[in-house]
Chains A and B, each alone.
Chain A
């Protein structure tokens, strides 16, 4: 068989109607900190361990959202109180996304989460000059399963203490 065909350069047009419904993305609350896991109490007051264990170093977000949830407000309020008690610490707020988005969009989303976290801490009295933000998008997951139970842990903002201050 042979084909002798005049070539047309126009692209093929096959209309394809995508009729799928959007997936409902329920968010579940992951454990906020080691404190939720019953590990509180043993850390030296004012130490990084104290912050992580007794205050909680991270908050979580709903899918594709940078709104500070009520549970996160509680955590951040405690963070702000702790940071005011220990004013020598500066912090870096890391914004993260789950992997259910594309890379560049998720870099932007992680940045927006970090900024929202910073702004909430500022509203609770943490001076802006003590805070930096960075987005890791979806590049630094803490949970790696292909399920909402992991994605909900990765949609997070982590408050990292920079040194013990001086």
Chain B
């Protein structure tokens, strides 16, 4: 079986060999302050990489699309370019780029190596400072051409924003086809931009809530394939599947610990309530973390592994779910959501400082974030039906699934942490339950 995530023949040869042909004072560099409230996207020119075929234009197209979708960059229409870059090894005519207000410029070249691999070189230029900001090269199997584009886009994003990128990533999700009362749900995986979609299940069994392992090689998810809904592990590369634990009742809402050694999930009790357990994947020992008479579900670890946020409807009366936080050993369980609404699906940010959630209020669904003590709640987006946020590995962008009233199914959306730049991710059918991978390298 062909590898999906494995055997990435992408040798990173960071080229120290590229020399800046022009040097100017280092302080006068173009940068984006992405923490400002309203950032005008940075005009950037991404030229077609020189190549003997379409590859160069394809790579630059992938780079420009990634940067544009981030909302932080405004790639300039190639038709406006004045200079035609014919030799990426020499400095461009900066005046030609300044005149079209390109504050940053990307040039490059793709060549085929004798061993069949692609060699991609690129340079990022600050046109107003007249300075090279990055010069690097990569070697990769032609099958990984799109990944080269994403990796270069990540480098540009990181250099100009000061934040790690998130373009060289994948998303697992549930592909949904067929009518609403007879949905076929399949596990699927694709690049974060919707390319390279592959199915990981055949649709015969209902599958839900896939989540990536920190090692990017496996996912945990819930399946009805045995008749009893239970949590499974799936090796993406080999297709090997395995039941997580041998519990007497339904197991659901799985997620990996940050070290990948445990799966945390809910176990249904015989009385109809659900509590949170972990299973150590090596020793196979299980540990109960909650034991109250309520629904406790949707657990998510803090990135340091020391705390867990989860949904619970404990507290009586209303029967309405709220967000709680506890220590990783189950101690100090305390509620953090106190706004006017029903809260669920808390997910801890990879930076550790925020928890994203779904909130139901006023007859609609919202995606928001709050600090880990529950303060500073901010709603980023709202819709008739939307839920299930997942963080980009840099903690800047959230993906979730959303459906307008009357629409027959949900699609995947992304939104910036600022609440700006909501975008739909192209998928062939309806889609739900996205889970973002870590950076692939």
A complexed with B: yes
Q: Which residues of A come within 8 Å of B, CB atoms?
A: 1-23, 64-66, 99-105, 107-109, 111-116, 119, 134-137, 139-144, 146
Contacts of B345 in A (CB 8 A): 102, 104-105
B426 to chain A, nearest CB (A): 22
Contacts of A108 in B (CB 8 A): 252, 266, 268, 273-274, 295, 297
Judging by beta carbons under 8 Å apart, are B388 and A102 in contact?
Answer: yes
List 12 additional contacts besides A5-B31, A102-B298; criterion CB under 8 Å. Answer: A2-B30, A4-B29, A9-B162, A21-B340, A65-B319, A99-B385, A107-B252, A108-B295, A111-B272, A137-B208, A143-B181, A146-B384
Judging by beta carbons under 8 Å apart, are B388 and A20 in contact?
Answer: no
Within 8 Å by CB of A23, from B40, B344, B362, lies B362
* Assembled-state Cα–Cα distance A62/B363 (Å): 16
* Assembled-state Cα–Cα distance A101/B295 (Å): 13
* Assembled-state Cα–Cα distance A82/B115 (Å): 75
Judging by beta carbons under 8 Å apart, are B181 and A116 in contact?
Answer: no
> For chain B, what secondary structure do more than half of its interface residues adopt (helix, strand, loop), or is it mixed?
loop
Contacts of A104 in B (CB 8 A): 209, 252-253, 266, 297-298, 311, 344-345
- The residue on B at minimum CB distance from A6 is B33
| Pair count A-B, CB < 8 A | 174
A30 to chain B, nearest CB (A): 15
Judging by beta carbons under 8 Å apart, are A105 and B378 in contact?
Answer: no
What are 26 inter-chain pairs, A to B, with CB distance below 8 A?
Answer: A3-B32, A4-B29, A7-B31, A7-B35, A7-B163, A8-B35, A14-B378, A16-B368, A19-B340, A20-B361, A20-B362, A21-B361, A64-B342, A100-B360, A102-B298, A102-B358, A102-B388, A103-B388, A104-B253, A104-B266, A105-B345, A108-B295, A134-B228, A136-B206, A139-B185, A139-B208
The 10 closest A-B pairs by CB, nearest first: A115-B272, A20-B362, A5-B33, A7-B162, A112-B272, A23-B363, A108-B295, A104-B253, A144-B180, A20-B361
- The residue on A at minimum CB distance from B222 is A107
Query: Residue among A10, A135, A140 with the most chain B CB within 10 A?
Result: A135
Contacts of B366 in A (CB 8 A): 18
Judging by beta carbons under 8 Å apart, are B35 and A105 in contact?
Answer: no
Interface flag for B53 (CB, 8 Å): no
Q: How many B residues, CB 8 Å from partner?
A: 80
Contacts of B385 in A (CB 8 A): 99-100
- The residue on B at minimum CB distance from A143 is B181
Within 8 Å by CB of A15, from B32, B268, B320, B377, lies B377
Interface flag for B78 (CB, 8 Å): no
Given A65-B319, A104-B298, A108-B266, check contact A15 B229 (CB 8 Å).
no
Judging by beta carbons under 8 Å apart, are B31 and A111 in contact?
Answer: no
Judging by beta carbons under 8 Å apart, are B250 and A16 in contact?
Answer: no
- The residue on A at minimum CB distance from B363 is A23
Given A16-B378, A105-B311, check contact A66 B272 (CB 8 Å).
yes
Interface flag for B183 (CB, 8 Å): yes
Contacts of B32 in A (CB 8 A): 3, 5
Judging by beta carbons under 8 Å apart, are A141 and B253 in contact?
Answer: no
Query: Residue among B103, B208, B272, B376 with the most chain A CB within 10 A?
Result: B272
* Assembled-state Cα–Cα distance A7/B29 (Å): 13
Judging by beta carbons under 8 Å apart, are A64 and B272 in contact?
Answer: no
- The residue on A at minimum CB distance from B311 is A105
Judging by beta carbons under 8 Å apart, are A101 and B344 in contact?
Answer: yes
Interface flag for B379 (CB, 8 Å): yes
Judging by beta carbons under 8 Å apart, are B35 and A2 in contact?
Answer: no
* Assembled-state Cα–Cα distance A3/B29 (Å): 8
Judging by beta carbons under 8 Å apart, are B362 and A103 in contact?
Answer: no
Contact residues, B281-337 vs A (CB, 8 A)? 295, 297-298, 311, 313, 319-321
Judging by beta carbons under 8 Å apart, are A2 and B103 in contact?
Answer: yes
* Assembled-state Cα–Cα distance A136/B419 (Å): 33
Judging by beta carbons under 8 Å apart, are B344 and A18 in contact?
Answer: no
Contacts of A19 in B (CB 8 A): 340
Within 8 Å by CB of B161, from A7, A105, A111, lies A7
Contacts of B354 in A (CB 8 A): 11
* Assembled-state Cα–Cα distance A146/B384 (Å): 9
* Assembled-state Cα–Cα distance A9/B229 (Å): 42
Interface flag for B406 (CB, 8 Å): yes
A143 to chain B, nearest CB (A): 8
Within 8 Å by CB of B206, from A11, A16, A22, A139, lies A139
- The residue on B at minimum CB distance from A19 is B340
